[in-house]
């Protein structure tokens, strides 16, 4: 018997009228589609939670020592969540980030927001079983913004799949996420800069049914993926944008590539003294990133996850090159101001960034 059709959930709206996504619909859709997590005895689950909290603090101390980034506060422990908890946090953070954007009035506005909510919910359900951790710079209270989340069932599952020491894999993941927390908290202007770029991108939208157009391109993307020609979701998105949006999107992509690549570099550069099996973990984790069934590869292409994987590699290569040439202190010039961030061409040509910033 086939699966029943997914009906559009009805729930009170999260956020103001005119929001581009009905976040309540997104959250409910994701929760309905979430796959179950691994079966773990309660004692083991509790021990894993305690260990992850402790490791997240230790990891940030290692990151501070390696990078020189420091927000002057004691490292906080991460929030340990399950898959439903991650969905809740993700919808809250996204709704805050896009809170100022309103779609123009029109009879179809509500339907577009509901449709977008279903699509976002499907994406969140897929990601919720794969995300290991996340630093959300907009998810915390206004007086202390930001939430560092670790998704315990996914960390346990992936560590078992890779067949690597559990505590070392957990530390490795914590190093990546702690780096993201320091990026946003030790660099005072970064949070507002990122939010401004995203909001500018949304505000420049001339056509309120952009989401519907993206959905309309989905069948062609699926056919191409089956032929081994999966379209890059960022490339698909670019085709729909005006010149102002494309310029803003370039800045967002360049920043995301820098942040992800820097964190990937740090989690490996801390070295075997902290994570003895770091080389083995990286080797097996990279192979896992590139694998997956046909269905998973299709979804990765449509959701832009393959583009994100390239960001890890390109950003890490940029970071490694600059650190090799001028050291970590020289690399930290990237955090001076928005003007010292690398552009997309400079990410691919770090020598050009060095020439511009450190002549």
Per-residue pLDDT tens digits for 148-164 = 999 999 999 999 999 99
Max CA-CA distance within the chain? 67
pLDDT of residue 185: 94
Give me the residues paired with residue 136 across strands.
Answer: 147
pLDDT given for residue 151 in this prediction: 96
Beta-carbon contacts of 319 under 8 Å, excluding residues fewer than 6 positions away, are 258, 261, 262, 264, 265, 331
| pLDDT single digits (tens) 286-330 | 877 655 444 444 444 444 545 555 667 889 999 999 999 999 999
pLDDT value at 16 more than 80: no
The set of residues, in sequence order, having a beta carbon less than 8 Å from that of 35 and lying 6+ positions away, is 83, 125, 129
Task: Judge whether residue 102 has pLDDT over 70.
Answer: no
357: tokens are 């910033």
The label of the residue with tokens 């770091």 reads 278
Closest CA to 344 of 335, 332, 353: 353
- Predicted confidence band at 245 (pLDDT cuts at 50, 70, 90)? confident
- Give yes or no for residue 333 having a pLDDT over 60: yes
**149 C-beta neighbours (distance < 10 Å), count:** 23
What torsion do the CA atoms of 175, 312, 148, 79 make, to the nearest 10 degrees?
-70
Length of the chain: 359
Residue 220 CB neighbours (<10 A): 12
Token pair belonging to 348: 């691919």
Mention every residue, 6+ apart, whose C-beta is less than 8 A from residue 3.
Answer: none
**Pairwise CA distance, residues 296 & 259, whole Å:** 25
Q: Is the pTM of this model over 0.75?
A: yes
What tens digit of pLDDT does each residue of 161-217 get? 999 999 999 999 999 999 999 999 999 999 999 988 888 877 766 554 554 444 444
pLDDT digits (tens, 9 = 90+) for 51-68: 999 999 999 999 999 999
Does the pLDDT value for residue 221 go beyond 80? no
From start to end of the chain, where are the E strands? 79-81, 133-136, 147-151
Q: Would you say 84 and 202 are in contact if contact means Cβ atoms under 8 Å apart?
A: no
Q: Which residue has the tokens 């179950």?
A: 36
Give Cα separations from 239 to 242, 246, 308 (angstroms).
8, 9, 18
Q: Does the pLDDT at position 253 exceed 80? A: yes
Contacts with 154 (C-beta within 8 Å, 6 or more apart), sequence order: 37, 83, 129, 130, 131, 132
C-alpha–C-alpha distance, residues 170 and 168, integer Å: 5
Alpha carbon distance 184, 260 (integer Å): 12
Query: Is the pLDDT confidence value at 105 over 90?
Result: no
């Amino acid at each position: 018997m086939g699966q029943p059709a997914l009906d559009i959930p009805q729930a009170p709206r999260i956020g103001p009228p005119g929001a581009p996504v009905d976040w309540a619909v997104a959250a409910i859709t994701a929760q309905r589609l979430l796959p179950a997590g691994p079966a773990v005895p309660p004692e083991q689950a509790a021990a894993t939670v305690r260990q992850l909290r402790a490791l997240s603090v230790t990891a940030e101390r290692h990151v501070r020592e390696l990078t020189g980034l420091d927000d002057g506060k004691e490292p906080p422990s991460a929030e340990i969540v399950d898959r439903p908890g991650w969905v809740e946090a993700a919808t809250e953070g996204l709704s805050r980030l896009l809170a100022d954007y309103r779609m123009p009035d029109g009879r179809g506005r509500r339907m577009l927001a509901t449709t977008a909510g279903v699509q976002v919910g499907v994406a969140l359900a897929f990601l919720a079983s794969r995300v290991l951790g996340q630093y959300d710079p907009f998810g915390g209270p206004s007086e202390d913004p930001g939430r560092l989340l670790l998704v315990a069932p996914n960390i346990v599952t992936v560590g078992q799949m890779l067949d690597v020491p559990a505590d070392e894999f957990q530390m490795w993941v914590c190093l990546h996420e702690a780096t993201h927390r320091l990026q946003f908290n030790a660099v005072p202007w970064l949070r507002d800069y990122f939010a401004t770029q995203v909001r500018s991108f949304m505000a420049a939208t001339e056509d309120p049914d952009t989401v519907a157009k993206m959905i309309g391109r989905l069948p062609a993307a699926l056919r191409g993926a089956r032929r081994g020609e999966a379209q890059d979701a960022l490339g698909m998105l670019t085709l729909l944008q005006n010149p102002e949006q494309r310029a803003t999107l370039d800045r967002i992509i360049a920043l995301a590539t820098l942040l992800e690549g820097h964190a990937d570099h740090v989690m490996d550069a801390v070295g075997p003294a902290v994570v003895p099996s770091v080389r083995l973990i990286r080797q097996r984790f990279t192979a896992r990133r590139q694998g997956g069934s046909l269905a998973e590869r299709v979804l990765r292409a449509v959701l832009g996850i393959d583009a994100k994987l390239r960001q890890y590699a390109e950003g890490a290569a940029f970071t490694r090159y600059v650190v090799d040439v001028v050291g970590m202190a020289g690399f930290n010039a990237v955090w001076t101001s928005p003007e010292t961030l690398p552009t997309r061409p400079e990410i691919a040509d770090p020598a050009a960034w060095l020439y511009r910033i450190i002549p």
